[in-house]
Amino acid sequence: MLFDTQQVLDRAKNGDENAKGELLNRFRPYLNVIAQRLLDERLQGRLDFSDVVQTTFLEASRDFQSFRGDSVESLLAWLRNILRNNVSTAHQQHLAAQKRSARKEITLRVTSESGGSSLGMADIVPSESSSPSQRMMRDEASVFLASCMEQIPETQRDAIRMRYLEGMSLKDISDRMSKSEMAVAGLLKRGLRALREEMLNRQNGLSA
């Protein structure tokens, strides 16, 4: 997957606008997952994560000529940095107006590099201290996983994200989604089954 994406990146760096658009769109699901994890839950209902991702895409498209990397791994790091800056700006703009001191409360959710589920969801954002080859393999798996998650029902996707990416308990997810814990467990079970099927179907398609 990354080999093909590398070819698209090379064309984009050579000035191919269509390749640039295709390149950025390939990483939309990946950035969606990261944005959902980083945005403060108090912004729910006031700011949609997709708006932050769209802003990131517009800035990346505008400033693409300033991107000096030559690999997919360096491009993802560049996009993550833009996204983090936009998330930080969103927090400052939307939370600073609260009566209580937002300065004491605003905290970006630091991505965990340890633990996580067997699906590797805690590794969506790779450690910048890992080796280039490790980051490349993790980037490929993360982009693939995020893309597959986009294909399952939204309620199942949200439950999986909160449980395995954010580490929330069933009770907390139940409260957040206004559903019973049994209903949440059902969403997780069906969602994981659908996610695994989607991943297998894509893997079989790639190997065919």
| 3-state SS, residue 117 | coil
In terms of pTM, does the model score above 0.85?
no
Tell me, what's the pLDDT at 178? 92
Architecture of the domain delimited by 1-108? Orthogonal Bundle (1.10)
Each residue of 147-205: pLDDT tens digit? 888 889 999 999 988 888 778 888 999 998 999 989 999 999 898 888 888 888 876 76
> How many beta carbons lie within 10 A of that of residue 176, not counting itself?
16
Each residue of 9-21: pLDDT tens digit? 999 999 999 999 9
| 3-state SS, residue 199 | helix
Q: What percent of the chain has pLDDT over 70?
A: 72
- CATH among 1.10.3720.10, 2.60.120.340, 3.90.1150.10, 1.10.10.10 for 151-208: 1.10.10.10
| 3-state SS, residue 177 | helix
Q: Which residues of the chain does CATH 1.10.10.10 include? A: 151-208
